[in-house]
Amino acid sequence: MPRQDRQPSGWIPLNRSPLHWAPVAWLRGFLPNTLRGKLFLVSLAVVSLPISLTGYLLEREGRQALVQEKTEKLFGLTRLLDAHLGPGFDALLAEAGTGAEGAHTDGTGNDGNGAGRAAAIRILSERLTPFTDLVAAANPGVGVGYYSRALDAIITYGPSRDYSATVGTSIPPEHPGWHVLESGRRAVESGRQVRGLILNAMLPIVRDGGVIGYIWANELSDDVERQAAAMDRAVLTVSLAGILLGLLLSHTLSRGVGRDIRGIIDGLIRMRSDLGHAIRPPPGEVGEIAVEVNGMARALLDAQSLTENILHSIADGVIAVDWTGQVTAVNPAAEAMIGVKAAEVIGRPYASLFKADGQFASPLLDTLRTGQPHIGVTLDFPGTRQTLHLNVSSSLLRNSRGEAIGAVVVLKDLTEQQRLRTQIMRADRLAALGELVAGLAHEVRNPLTSIRGFMQFLETSDDVREWQRYAPLIVRQVDSLNRLVTELLEFGRPRPPTIRPVQLNDLIREVSLLAGRKSSARITLALAADLPRAEADGEALKQVVLNLIINATQATTETGVITISTAAVDGREAVVAVTDDGEGIAPENLDKVFDPFFSTKPNGTGLGLAMAHRIVDAHHGTITIASTPGAGTTVTLRIPFLHSRTAET
């Protein structure tokens, strides 16, 4: 049968219903609530339990020692009686037989009719009674005697004046003496025997290897109990005295500790409103607690002062609200920014600080409602006096237990920065316009100068051959001006992209094939096979790729190599890279390559990369250039697969 594990009785599983802890809860209802009462109760337990346990152990050990001492004493008396018996009962009968007529027995004291047994008992009693009386007299309260196994009778029982009537009687079958006779081992028994409740020590009489009887020495249990009771009274008296002394000391100690703790509690209550208050430290370890509390209060006061100084010093506005949206703190920067006074708005709803037009979504109130923080949100704050352009960050405020108790918002005023940025952008546009005009003037002046020179020369010439020679040159200069004006118009009047699904790999193959016929440079393709379709203006991107290939062929030698590669990044955008091994671009020119009319080629207009940059921007992509002089250039385009129309609507 398999073993079944069982829980020991009294075991309480952890998953038991709370109802099973009802006794514990009931017991707690009787425990004191004050620290003084608990200290007194603990001290009482610490003092009373050890003293009570010690008294119990002393009483128990004392009783055992008393019984052991009595036992050893009684066995000493039995050994004394055993030594006095000498060779045994038969030897005493033999000695008495020579001088005692009519006491003839068969060696066992039995003549067959009982007369010999009685005579033997009488003879042995007469011989042994004086000594048993002597021993009993020397040990008051002790009874001693002999028992003969052969005669099955008590031979003597001293003191004989009290117990002579028992001589000649037999012990009953349940008497423990029979166990001593059968086993041959001494024994101690407590209980009711011949003369009442006694402590009886029995020693077997062993002669010639056989047990011929036993000797006993006993003492009334009343005498033992009297001595034990006296010892118990002494132990109890000492224990009670120790407990009372311990209670007195516990009461004094708990009263002093309670007084010191009460002083610390009163000081802490006052510190709630005044961290500068110091608790007077009492002596001892409790005083060390007060010292540490004072140090902690000073640290909190310093931290509070530091926080207040920081909030008053920082240029950003800080506003805190509680869980209901009521303003709890406003720093001076927020007062100046919004145009309010802290004393006027603290306790009012945060929504009262801005115009309730239904269009402003406050990040602070959203954080308070959803628990989600907002970091670096730029918005227009509809203040009661003016609309502010702010950078806002909001988050929840939590207490020491991690519970949300409100929210805080940090306001950074970008109104002035926006105004300065607008001025800078206007200045940048004016500067770009100036550069554009200067470039345009330079580009127009050169053909016009050539045309004017040719016309001045031809004005004085009547030679038709001269006119025929210089007319084509004049036409080429006019065409150059026309091309410049056309590119300038395309650059200055961009059209919105026509967005359709475009396979960039097919577009690149088509453009590279056309460009390869006009250049001796070798064009290699490394196109991603799994490139998805992109939402883009294919014709505009053809113009971008064509411009990049033309720039690359112009920068390389006749044996140069141009590599065009494509790849997909994270499934979000396509990457197109055009790499050549030409002369590269000087580092000081890298920042100018996208500027209109900037070109390092003698016949370049400087509008190709500028137009490419504008087209890529219209696709919400990026274009970057990395170049090493003498080693080559790489132009990288990043075009999103999905065209966002947010910026166009």
Interval 481-499: pLDDT, tens: 776 666 565 555 556 678 8
Is the pLDDT confidence value at 308 over 80?
A: no
The whole-number average pLDDT for the span 67-91 is 91
Domain of 548, CATH number, reads: 3.30.565.10
**552, 633 in Cβ contact below 8 A?**
yes
The whole-number average pLDDT for the span 134-148 is 92
pLDDT at 555: 82
Look at residue 332 and tell me if it is in a domain. yes
Confidence of residue 104 (pLDDT cuts 50, 70, 90): very low
Confidence of residue 612 (pLDDT cuts 50, 70, 90): confident
Number of separate domains in the chain: 5
Position with higher pLDDT, 263 vs 596: 263
Domain boundary among 199, 227, 255: 227
The region of weakest confidence among 9-18, 35-44, 136-145, 286-295 is 9-18
Evaluate the omega torsion of the peptide bond into residue 281 and state whether it is cis, within 30 degrees of 0: no
pLDDT at 20: 47
Instruction: Residue 233: count other Cβ atoms within 10 Å of its Cβ.
Output: 10
Which of 12-16, 29-33, 148-152, 515-519 is most confident? 148-152
Look at residue 141 and tell me if it is in a domain. yes
Burial bucket for residue 28 (CB in 10 Å: 0-12, 13-18, 19+): exposed
> pLDDT per residue over 245-258, tens digit each?
777 777 777 677 77
pLDDT at 12: 38
Is the pLDDT confidence value at 298 over 50?
A: yes
Distance, in Å, from the CA atom of 195 to the CA atom of 219, rounded to the nearest integer, reads 10
> pLDDT per residue over 461-487, tens digit each?
777 777 777 778 777 777 767 766 665
Is the pLDDT confidence value at 101 over 80?
A: no
Domain of 216, CATH number, reads: 3.30.450.20
Is the pLDDT confidence value at 17 over 50?
A: no
Give me 526's structure tokens: 């490394």
Is the pLDDT confidence value at 607 over 60?
A: yes
Domain boundary among 413, 439, 456: 413
Is the pLDDT confidence value at 427 over 70?
A: no
Backbone angles phi, psi at 563, to 5 degrees: -115, 130
Confidence of residue 112 (pLDDT cuts 50, 70, 90): very low
Look at residue 18 and tell me if it is in a domain. no
The whole-number average pLDDT for the span 283-306 is 76
Is the pLDDT confidence value at 546 over 90?
A: no
Q: Are residues 507 and 435 in the same domain?
A: no
Look at residue 248 and tell me if it is in a domain. no
**Which residues, in sequence order, are CB contacts of 226 under 8 Å at separation 6+?**
none
pLDDT at 193: 60
Q: Are residues 387 and 506 in the same domain?
A: no
Domain boundary among 413, 445, 463: 413
pLDDT at 109: 43
**322, 328 in Cβ contact below 8 A?**
yes
The helix (run of H) or strand (run of E) holding residue 215 is: strand 210-220
Q: Are residues 300 and 427 in the same domain?
A: no
Position with higher pLDDT, 586 vs 204: 204
| C-alpha distances in Å from residue 470, one per residue of 478, 483, 602 | 13, 20, 22
What's the chain's average pLDDT? 77
> Model-level pTM?
0.35
pLDDT at 123: 93
Is the pLDDT confidence value at 99 over 50?
A: no
Give me 501's structure tokens: 């699904």
Q: Are residues 399 and 425 in the same domain?
A: no
Look at residue 240 and tell me if it is in a domain. no
Distance, in Å, from the CA atom of 275 to the CA atom of 26, rounded to the nearest integer, reads 40
Is the pLDDT confidence value at 16 over 50?
A: no
Q: Which domain holds residue 325?
A: 314-413
Look at residue 184 and tell me if it is in a domain. yes
Distance, in Å, from the CA atom of 54 to the CA atom of 236, rounded to the nearest integer, reads 10
Look at residue 616 and tell me if it is in a domain. yes
Confidence of residue 190 (pLDDT cuts 50, 70, 90): confident
pLDDT at 184: 92
Alpha helices in 115-171 (DSSP H): 115-138, 160-163
Sign of CA dihedral 419, 424, 425, 427: positive
β-strand pairing of 561-569 with 522-526: parallel
pLDDT at 225: 65
Helices then strands, each counted (H, E), the chain: 16, 17
Is the pLDDT confidence value at 180 over 80?
A: yes
The whole-number average pLDDT for the span 9-21 is 43
Q: Are residues 435 and 291 in the same domain?
A: no
Beta bridge partners, 388, equal 381
Give me 69's structure tokens: 């001492």
pLDDT at 5: 42
Q: Are residues 540 and 596 in the same domain?
A: yes
Sign of CA dihedral 415, 419, 420, 422: positive
Strand order in the sheet with 327-330: 327-330, 317-322, 404-413, 387-398, 374-382
Buried-state track 167-192, b at ≥16 Cβ within 10 A, e below 16: bbeebeeebbbebbbeeeebbbbeee
Confidence of residue 460 (pLDDT cuts 50, 70, 90): confident
Q: Are residues 332 and 403 in the same domain?
A: yes
Confidence of residue 443 (pLDDT cuts 50, 70, 90): low
Q: Are residues 519 and 600 in the same domain?
A: yes
**Which residues, in sequence order, are CB contacts of 250 under 8 Å at separation 6+?**
39, 40, 43, 44, 46, 47
**545, 507 in Cβ contact below 8 A?**
yes
Q: Are residues 292 and 321 in the same domain?
A: no
Look at residue 12 and tell me if it is in a domain. no
pLDDT at 213: 95
Q: Are residues 323 and 284 in the same domain?
A: no
Is the pLDDT confidence value at 194 over 50?
A: yes
Q: Are residues 370 and 387 in the same domain?
A: yes
The whole-number average pLDDT for the span 380-399 is 80
Confidence of residue 23 (pLDDT cuts 50, 70, 90): low
Is the pLDDT confidence value at 11 over 50?
A: no
Is the pLDDT confidence value at 24 over 90?
A: no
Q: Are residues 527 and 584 in the same domain?
A: yes
Percentage, residues of the chain above pLDDT 70: 75
**151, 175 in Cβ contact below 8 A?**
no
